[in-house]
Structure 1
């Protein structure tokens, strides 16, 4: 009995070699960019299809994963976008970009918010025109710069969530075995007292 318990504990103490699929999507204006890979750092393989659907399952489009597990899709309407990526061997990422992360100017957006955005954009454009700058180009440059800064932070956050989750699971298993050990010890002590 003790040998079996020791062998079982030794197996559970060994490091886990499994890896989980991780990824995410985020909007940069009307462009939805995403990335997919595994928790061990291996990114999704180029050419893997990414299926995009709406909340009812209607297909909105399909793109392919590019280098370093990245993909992008141009949104044409302000609705929830659901992404499904099958990396094989049962590794499927299903994620969603909510409609509120897309610009109000897209079809399906809030009309009042779109008007307010247009008003701010026109006043900003007028101010920039006086300086000789193109507001659309400036807006795109700002969004891309922010996106480049956010990508590594998103990866680190996802890796932290994955690691914390694994630690929680292993801690829970250890707690259960500890309680079982106390129960076995109490039972043995009780049987020794009775005999």
Structure 2
């Protein structure tokens, strides 16, 4: 299956069957990434156009409006939210597991060397200035002795 995003950068499709999906994203300037979405992350595949809201509405028709079970409604909403948020939660969990990459480690070491270099530069300037002052004082002492 192929598709393009809309103006908001969104793309949606009906899941044909309950299997792991390999998503390949191709963006501008040669950027490309792919990842696998496990079948259990997107819940059940809808075989009919019914949704939890529609099924609740149908059950509400059978009973009076006052006898609608709020607990059932909350349960359905919780279930739908859990199903929709599962991929986001998994992504956050996976991101936390990853440690620093080699590039970040090398960059950190380079940053430390850079700070050390700046420190040594100012230290050598300070030592050089002290050396020039002592040479001037030494020359003045030699002139006084003569």
TM bucket normalised to smaller: 0.3 to 0.5
Normalized against structure 1, the TM-score is what?
Answer: 0.31
Structure 1 or 2: more strand by fraction = 1
Structure 1 or 2: more helix by fraction = 2
